[in-house]
Structure 1
Amino acid sequence: MASSILKRTSCSAMKSAVEILRIGASSRAYASVAVGTDIVSAAPGVSLQKARSWDEGVSSKFSTTPLKDIFKDKKVVVFGLPGAYTGVCSTQHVPSYKKNIDKFKAKGIDSVICVAVNDPYVLNGWAEKLQAKDAIEFFGDFDGSFHKSLDLGVDLSAALLGPRSQRWSAYVVDGKVKVFNLEKAPSEFEVSGGEVILGQI
């Protein structure tokens, strides 16, 4: 009896969380970034934090990576997601890029990058759990400044996540956006996956 009640409660809570994510963003699934945008110029002065352990952070004096070092003179596939350890991000979004990494390399992509509004230590633990660090570079946008600059931020406080990122993907050549995909809501996974952008390159 107790287990059946718990199961019903868990399913109900899960559905509620998904609905919160949908409602939280469905009314503003837009961004100022678009095809032709220069990402480096659109987010002046913004740097990201490469996923790393705390000890690595200390030894590097908590260094950050300027956007020009990530995008300039390179072909990059980048995708953003609401956060480490969350459902769709863990089970679908990151795996869709990990399993296609050889196909991206075959198309001349220099790097596949995941950016999330998390600190680099959480991202590091998550990337290791997903066994994805060898395929994908993970960068933390710890204060959300990167996503805010591109108008890709979203408030998911209703799901106890606070300020986060929309779910999106882009193909960027020498800093310029060549392909851009944005989901209607963070809970959806229709246009930002690895297979979709692979076919757009």
Structure 2
Amino acid sequence: MAAPIKVGDKIPFGLTFTTSANATETGACAIPQVCILPIDTKMSDKLKEHITQPIKSEDALGKGKVILVAVPGAFTPTCHLQHLPGFIQHADAFKAKGISKIYVTSTNDIFVLDAWGKHEKAGDAVSFLADGNGAFAAAIGFSLDLSAKGMGAVRTKRYAIVVEDGVVTYVGEGDLDVSGAEAVLAKL
């Protein structure tokens, strides 16, 4: 694992997240036959291409002023009840402070993150980036092994980072007092 990323560091480029092609309209479970009926492999591949798309770290985090919020897992108690809601609720305040995009990442797959966003009515407030194999978390020194808690060996730590044109300007790793929406907003 790499040393933890810090203020002044550049975001590692060349890593790939997965995002939903149209999270507000066409998530996997927005198409009933995907969730309840078996479909053939060709249809599944076509559907996957339509719903998911890769996005490079440099494309998501390399231009403008953005926030990347990471959670160990979608729908887990702290992430679900305390961490994500603040970023959704304060999205307009972040935009007023010059933030062009708020991304939420986890080692969950994009289908889980997409469902979480729909459940929380995230709309356009935040976008989700799946770091399914934990490559980005490892590259910035924030990977976590939660296998002892039954949550898997590849997770991401809880954090929020502010990135401006690919350079880190704020790192809040750990509890919500440094990684929560209010803490990040206070640092802008």
TM-score bin, normalised by smaller chain: 0.7 to 0.9
Partner residue of 2:95 out of 88, 105, 109: 105
The aligned residue for residue 155 of structure 2 is 164
Pairs within 5 Å for 1:22-41? 31-39=3-11
TM-score (norm 1): 0.77
Runs of 4+ in 1 over 3 A off after TM superposition: 54-57, 59-62
Structure 2 match to 1:176: 167
- Matched residue SS, 1:64: strand
1:50 to 19, 22, 26: 19
1:191 aligns with 2:178: yes
User: In 2, distance between residues paired with 1:61 and 1:134?
Assistant: 17
1:84 and 2:74 aligned: yes
Matched letter for residue 75 of structure 2? Y
Cα deviation for residue 158 of structure 1 reads: 1.5
| Residue ranges of structure 2 left out of the alignment (5+ in a row) | 32-45
Q: Is the 8 A contact 1:57 1:63 kept in 2?
A: no
For residue 193 of structure 1, report the CA deviation from its aligned partner: 0.4
Q: Cα deviations across residues 51-99 of structure 1 (Å, max 9, x unaligned)?
A: 4534785233853001111122211011111011100000000011111
Q: Does 1:116 align with 2:106?
A: yes
Q: Which amino acid aligns with 1:83?
A: G
| CA distance in structure 1 between the partners assigned to 2:47 and 2:76 by the alignment | 24
Three-state SS of the structure 2 residue aligned to 1:84 is coil
Q: Distance in 2 between matches of 1:180 and 1:105?
A: 19
AA matched with 1:175: G
* Per-residue deviation, 1:134: 2.1
Amino acid at match of 1:92: Q
- State the aligned residue count: 165
Shift of 1:113: 0.8
Aligned-residue RMSD, C-alpha: 1.9
Cα distance in 1 for residues equivalent to 2:170 and 2:127: 19
Could you tell me which runs of 5 or more consecutive residues in structure 1 were left unpaired when the two chains were aligned.
1-29
Cα distance in 2 between the residues matched to 1:70 and 1:130: 22
Identify the residue that residue 39 of structure 2 maps to in structure 1: none
Q: Quote the Cα distance in structure 2 between the aligned partners of 1:195 and 1:179.
A: 13
Kept in 1: contact 2:19–2:52 (CA 8 A): no
- Which structure's CA Rg is the greater one? 1
